[in-house]
Chains A and B, each alone.
Chain A
Amino acid sequence: MTLRRLLSRYTGFSGMAAKEFLAYNIWFWMNLFTSAVAMTIFVFFWKAIYAQADQIAGLGFQQTLNYVLLAQVIAGVGESGILWTFGYQLREGRIALELLRPLDFQGMLYAFSVGNWLTGLLSRTPLLLLALLYGLQPPADPLAYACFAVSFFLGASVMFFFEWMLGCFAFYTTEVWGLGVTLFAIQLFFSGTLIPLDMMPEGLRLFAQILPFHQIVYTPVSFLAGITPVSQAPQVFLGQVAWIVGLAVASRWVFSRAVRAVTVQGG
């Protein structure tokens, strides 16, 4: 089989993500609205906070505002929802069908996630406009945007493989709801969706940087907000690639073990 044909089989799944997204219009607007509410609250919140201090953890008001607005724009986009996918497929017994396809199961879901990230980013354009209205000052340096794009893509990939490993719990517990909600809360805090990691006390900040969650929000956004200088990009990317390689290998191994447990579930 030619590489091109092989690739097109996977990109078909990426395209499916876009179609699925378009099918749920009212949900899209609702999500946009809730993000707009969060953004509005943050703007007033940080204005009130910076009425008390010129700088917090070395960040001025404009820098923090840039960060918080951008974090809100892309919040959630880099998640793959693998845990929920596994939970759903196990519950419905669909996983058996999925595993029968003549495609790599992980590759298939990865392609689907890539499509999700792209449509996700595009769909946030209205939020970006709102952020600009709220005083977001985007950087002038085109390199900052490139660094954002690369580190977002790499970071989302890191989280894909990380979630894949966690998702394997579903094969044993069959119930993912509690784990999913817990993961959501941990991610909300440690990804830097709510605050730039710089503001956390030393120990907590280190802990947050050991965890992979910051890779889908803090790492890419801090390039755009001028917190991480572009000159550090090679170092950041290298670290992300190392994460991906390590987690990709580990996740495949964990999955190959966990999938043996699936037989007890059935359909």
Chain B
Amino acid sequence: MARYASLYGLFLLQRFKVLLEYRLNFLIGASSTVFVQAAGIATLWVVMRQVPSLNGWSFDELLLVYGLLTASRSIEHMFADNLWTIGRQYIRSGGFDRFLVRPIDPLFHLLADRFNHDGIGNFVIGTLLVVSAWASLGIPLLPLYVLYAVLAVLSGGAIFIALNLLTATTAFWIVESVPVTRAVHEMHEFAKYPLSMYHKGIQAALTWLIPYGFASFYPASYLLGRDVGWLVWAGPAVALVLLLVAYRFWLFGLRHYSGTGS
């Protein structure tokens, strides 16, 4: 474990050396996601000026939901972005074989190979939204709440990573896995808003099937004192189970990997 931690540090250091060679690109990339998020938030603001609430949620409360989801997503965006490109960048080119002959875990190698700075923008936006909503909603600054929020974002991030790992593993069979990953990943858009505004079937799907709800709606409900039952505590467990399932599937896929012959 300690060996992998120090290895990751080395990978990260190399990555930053590369990134800082191209300083302007680094800045543009890191801030690019900010613009896209701004478009979404501006839309919400325009609409929420006209009505007092969305399904009983005020503008600030919606920002908390949005912020928690964005922060969770940024974890995946920064640390696991290579899951998106495994088919195109590694398997098709045969570069993946390089991981298999090294004395470290191939999945670790894949993830550590590229820290994605584009996720920094999402992280900053998400954190800012949570902090500002927290302040304007007057949520008490108790250690329990802070710890809960941090844990919620980490579990949310793990859910994002686990779902991408599940879908990226299909690359071992179909090579270009991005459409599969994208289709599942896109479901996180639902979780940008309170799940309570959707049909029961969608709520259930976002809770039990593709559980992005644990990255936003459930933790926000807890912080705002809204009663949604025991599910507010389920996030970390859901994340852990999903990670285990995804990792088993990854190992299964790895055993079936035969290379593209390129």
Query: How far is A29 from B33 in the complex, measured between Cα atoms in Å?
Result: 25
Interface residue? B54 (CB, 8 A): yes
B190-208, CB under 8 A of A: which get 1 and which 0?
A: 1011000111001000000
Which of A49, A53, A57, A199 is most buried by chain B, counting CB atoms within 10 A of its CB? A49
- B179: interface (CB < 8 Å): yes
Interface size class of B (residues with CB under 8 A): 35 or more
Do the beta carbons of A194 and B54 come within 8 Å of each other? no
Binary CB contact string for chain A from 19 to 45 against chain B (1 if under 8 A, 0 otherwise): 000000011011001100110110011
B39 contacts A41, CB within 8 Å?
A: no
B28 & A177 in contact (Cβ 8 Å cutoff): yes
Asked if B190 and A37 sit within 8 Å, CB to CB, the answer is: yes
With beta carbons under 8 angstroms apart, the residue of A27, A49, A181, A200 that contacts B54 is A49
Q: Is B221 part of the contact surface with A, judged by Cβ < 8 Å?
A: no
Report the separation of the CA atoms of residues A34 and B39 in the bound assembly, to the nearest whole angstrom. Answer: 18
**Cross-chain contact A48 with B46 (CB below 8 angstroms):** no
**Residues of A contacting B147 in the complex (Cβ-Cβ under 8 angstroms):** none
Beta-carbon contact of A53 and B32 below 8 Å: no
Residues of chain A lying within 8 A (CB to CB) of residue B187: 37
Q: B252: CB under 8 A from chain A?
A: no
Chain B residues positioned under 8 Å from A189 (CB to CB):
38-39, 42-43
- How distant is the Cα of A29 from the Cα of B182 in the complex, in angstroms? 11
- B51, B53, B176: residue with the most chain A Cβ atoms closer than 10 Å: B51
Q: Does B47 have its Cβ within 8 Å of any Cβ on chain A?
A: yes
How long is the Cα–Cα vector from A30 to B185 in the complex, in angstroms?
A: 11
- Flag if A182 contacts B49 (CB, 8 Å): no
- Please name the residue on chain B nearest to A38 by beta carbon: B189
A33 touches B186 (CB 8 A): yes
Tell whether B183 is near chain A: CB-to-CB under 8 Å. Answer: yes
Q: Point out the residues of chain A lying under 8 angstroms from B182, CB to CB.
A: 30, 34
Is A33 a contact of B183 with CB atoms below 8 Å? yes
The reply on A178 being an interface residue by CB < 8 A is yes
Chain B residues with CB under 8 A of A33: 183, 186
Q: How far is the CB of A146 from chain B (nearest CB, A)?
A: 30
Asked if B4 lies at the interface with its beta carbon under 8 angstroms from chain A, I say no
8 Å CB interface, A184-205 against B: 184-186, 188-189, 194-195, 199-201, 204
Count of inter-chain pairs, beta carbons less than 8 A: 95
In the assembled complex, the Cα of A71 lies from the Cα of B35 at a distance in Å of 21
Say whether B193 contacts A194, CB under 8 Å: no
> Which size bracket describes the interface of A in this complex?
35 or more
Q: B193–A41 contact, CB under 8 A? A: yes
Which residues of B sit under 8 angstroms from A45, Cβ to Cβ?
Answer: 54, 193, 197
A57 / chain B contacts, CB cutoff of 8 Å = 50
CB-defined contacts of B36 to chain A, threshold 8 Å: 181, 184-185, 188
Give the residue name and chain of the A residue nearest to B57 (CB). Answer: A48
CB atoms of B55 and A41 under 8 A apart: no
Q: Does B89 contact A (CB under 8 A)?
A: no
Contact A52 B32 (CB under 8 A): no
Given A45-B193, A200-B46, A185 contacting B51 (CB threshold 8 A): no
Task: Name the residue of chain B whose CB is nearest to the CB of A64.
Answer: B47
Contacts of B47 in A (CB 8 A): 49, 56, 195, 199
Contact of A41 among B25, B53, B189 (CB under 8 A): B189
A residues in contact with B39, CB < 8 Å:
185-186, 188-189, 194
Q: How far is the CB of B28 from chain A (nearest CB, A)?
A: 3
Q: Determine the residue in chain A with the shortest Cβ distance to B188.
A: A37
What is the distance, in angstroms, from B200's C-beta to the closest C-beta of chain A? 12
CB distance from A139 to the nearest CB of B (A): 24
Q: Closest CB of chain A to B163's CB: distance in Å?
A: 14
Complex Cα distance A245/B114, Å?
46
Nearest Cβ on chain B to A96's Cβ, whole angstroms: 24
* Contact between B35 and A182, CB atoms less than 8 A apart: yes
Q: Is the CB of A34 within 8 A of B186?
A: yes
Interface string of B171-184 (1 = CB under 8 A from A): 00000100100110
Cα-based distance from A44 to B206 in the complex (angstroms) = 15
Contact pick for A37, options B32, B53, B176, B186, CB 8 Å: B186
- Which of B33, B40, B183, B193 has the most chain A CB atoms closer than 10 A to its own CB? B183
Q: Chain B residues in contact with chain A, CB under 8 A? A: 24-25, 28-29, 31-33, 35-36, 38-40, 42-43, 46-47, 49-55, 176, 179, 182-183, 186-187, 189-190, 192-193, 197-199, 202
> Can you list 12 A-B pairs, Cβ within 8 angstroms, ordered by A?
A26-B179, A27-B179, A33-B183, A41-B193, A44-B197, A49-B50, A53-B51, A182-B35, A185-B38, A189-B38, A194-B39, A200-B46
Q: Which residues of A contact B (CB under 8 A)?
A: 26-27, 29-30, 33-34, 37-38, 40-41, 44-45, 47-49, 51-53, 56-57, 175, 177-178, 181-182, 184-186, 188-189, 194-195, 199-201, 204
